[in-house]
Structure 1
Amino acid sequence: MKKKLLVILAVLMLVVAGCSSGKSTDGEKEDKDNGKKAEATSDYPKKPIELVVPFNPGGPTDVFARAIAKELPAYLPNKQQVAVINKPGAGTTLGLTDIATAKPDGYTLGFTTSSGLDIQPHYGKTSYQLDSFEPIIKAYVLNSAIVVKKDSELNTYEDWLAYVKENPGKFTYGTSGGTGSGGHIAMENLGKELGVTMKHVPFEGVADVMNAVMSGQIVAGQSRPDTETGGELKPLLFVTESKGVSDYYADIPNTKELGLETSTEFYSGFIAPAGTPEEVVMILHDAIKEVMELDSIKDLMVTQNLVPSYANGEDFGKTMQEYSDKNKKTMEELELIK
């Protein structure tokens, strides 16, 4: 009987030991898994990063992105290189689709302007939505105005307003983004608020708009009055709060100064695919922010007429959502969407 009890006790001890061993193994596996997850983020980046720019090479968005990409490795852990990939087309939606569908591991990022994020998804033709992206950092805003030829008889906002009131539908203006673009929506909002009718003429690019204004094909453009036009175009009214990096256009009003509700913001910033780990987003944010504070980058922004407008990922996301909601409402009112 005593031997039987000893055998039973021995068996029970073996069972308990086996269970304890099983628990320990599961715990060790969990610890290893957690260690792998930590390692995957803590040693980021382990390989080169691709920065997708949904524009052709040479424009201000591309120039700025390349300047950041060149300096960024020095401020990233492990000093990994950053390669700029240009993917233009379809109003930036081709490049943004690549970003949205990329693996959310921090190795495919994007640098883009606003319209592809807060306008294009509302048409229902993109495979992505605003929440398909993780905002990293907002970089700058662009100024935009109603611009006419330097020798135009329209010299002021008051001249322009009198003309459009006296000539319904005869004031033609061009935008580079086409129908439903940010420039088009801003102008239609302005016309609605002022009770005037204008004729929109869509173009493929900024150069096309400027050439059409210079040749007299259209009366005005809704664009940036920067030095690329050689001083042959003059602004009458800014539809953005920003007028540029200098006070050169301080005497030209913006809609806010005139007490008008119509105002828009054309922003640019860095994004990642939704689901990118928070730690990775923070590493990228901190590194990009340091690069943006370099004197060489600040000088570049002046020459490119890019107005610094920093926001962290959370605030950048709020800006994106605000303008997405605002643009959707306007597009419905204009019957661009249902």
Structure 2
Amino acid sequence: MTRRYSVFRTLAAACLVTALAPTAHAAWPEDQPIEVVVGFAPGGGTDLMARSLAPFIQKSLGGHARVVVINKPGASGEIANAHVARAKPDGYTLAIVNAPGFVFLPLSKKTQYKVDDFTLLARVVNDPTVLVAKREAKYKTLSDAVQTLKKDPKSLSFGYNGAGTNGHLALVQLQKIADVQANDVPFKGTAESKTALLGGHVDYAFVSAAETPELRNGTGNLKAVVQFGEQRSKALPHVPTATEVGYQMTMSSERGFAAPKGLPVDIAARLQKAIADSIADPEFIKAASNDAPVLSYLPGAEWQASLNKQQAALQALADQMPKQ
């Protein structure tokens, strides 16, 4: 009886020690997937960029890291941004943010997030906005479209990816500079805009250069009318800029990674390095042929400083628009 009691006491003590010992967890980023949240529908430039980069970031982080892409489209990216802003800053929830919309939306209306709710990690691309039409479009140049709108306001329709996006702001600028009124039609993503254009539901669409590989390889039924970069993009060297054809304006789409504010410095540094390494990986450049001509890496702090410089111009655009 004494021996059995002794064995029982030994087993009980062992169980108690096990219960009191801290549970062992794998360290970040190995104990759960890293979610990269995209604020636009699948198939657009933002979504494709995120999906092409995800496996390379995963490889760079090493170990058992897993990176998955989740789409939360709507409200020009606000839904996705708000979701990430509310997430725990532990490195497991990241956003792909799209400027200028990321900065512009809180300037133009009350939003569910603020820019300072985030820590920017890295810019990946700086992609010029492009106005596209069907090859058989009646008005084939920007000047043709402007002259038509002057004679008949709102007679031509222009699709874009929602309020505050690069396409929308390009249209706002164009209407002001050219003193015209267009029929503007927002969509949830570039795939929707292109489908509407090809189906004859809109006359033009604002897209980003990387989102339209058919413009570079001559396939498909779309043509580039004009691009809105400061200079001709490597992606579309034969397409004139708006400035070249007499309209002094620029508008690009910057896309990159951000995390909820408060992300630990060491995790932020690892993520930034993983993104930088991935963009420089020859295999990624080969796989991401659409983005390759517009890759433009900036570390998070430098990207934030660049966006800060753009804020005054974006505020001026916001002041022109009805408050919501």
Task: Give the TM-score of the pair, scaled to structure 1.
Answer: 0.75
Question: Structure 1 93/295 Cα, relative in aligned 2: closer, same or farther at 3 Å?
Answer: same
Question: Which of 71, 86, 100 does residue 101 from structure 1 map onto?
Answer: 86
Give the drift of 1:245.
Answer: 4.5
Question: Structure 1 160/124 Cα, relative in aligned 2: closer, same or farther at 3 Å?
Answer: closer
Alpha-carbon separation, structure 1, partners of 2:71 and 2:201: 31
Q: Structure 1 residue 153 and structure 2 residue 141: aligned?
A: no
Alpha-carbon separation, structure 1, partners of 2:150 and 2:259: 45
Question: Which of 221, 224, 234 does residue 223 from structure 2 map onto?
Answer: 234
Q: Tell me the amino acid that sits aligned with residue 253 of structure 2.
A: F
In structure 1, what is the equivalent of residue 314 of structure 2? Answer: 327
Question: Structure 1 180/87 Cα, relative in aligned 2: closer, same or farther at 3 Å?
Answer: closer
Q: Tell me the amino acid that sits aligned with residue 182 of structure 1.
A: N
Q: Structure 1 residue 287 and structure 2 residue 274: aligned?
A: yes
In structure 2, what is the equivalent of residue 200 of structure 1? Answer: 184
Q: Deviations over 1:56-109 (max 9, x none)?
A: 444332232233221223322655222333333332222211211122232222
Q: Structure 1 residue 313 and structure 2 residue 300: aligned?
A: yes
In structure 2, what is the equivalent of residue 167 of structure 1? Answer: 152
Alpha-carbon separation, structure 2, partners of 1:153 and 1:112: 36
Contact 1:44–1:77 (8 Å) recurs in 2: no
Give the drift of 1:180.
Answer: 4.2
Contact 1:141–1:242 (8 Å) recurs in 2: no
Paired residues, number: 293
Alpha-carbon separation, structure 2, partners of 1:317 and 1:149: 37
Q: Deviations over 1:154-208 (max 9, x none)?
A: 233343343333433323222231x444312211212211223322233344344
Q: Tell me the amino acid that sits aligned with residue 222 of structure 1.
A: F
Q: Tell me the amino acid that sits aligned with residue 277 of structure 1.
A: P
Q: Tell me the amino acid that sits aligned with residue 100 of structure 1.
A: A
Alpha-carbon separation, structure 1, partners of 2:133 and 2:62: 49
In structure 2, what is the equivalent of residue 126 of structure 1? Answer: 111
> RMSD over aligned Cα, in angstroms?
2.9
Larger radius of gyration: 1
In structure 2, what is the equivalent of residue 35 of structure 1? Answer: none
Contact 2:43–2:190 (8 Å) recurs in 1: no
Contact 1:164–1:198 (8 Å) recurs in 2: yes
Give the drift of 1:317.
Answer: 0.8
Question: Which of 74, 83, 86 does residue 68 from structure 2 map onto?
Answer: 83
Q: Tell me the amino acid that sits aligned with residue 238 of structure 1.
A: Q
In structure 2, what is the equivalent of residue 141 of structure 1? Answer: 126
Task: Give the TM-score of the pair, scaled to structure 2.
Answer: 0.78
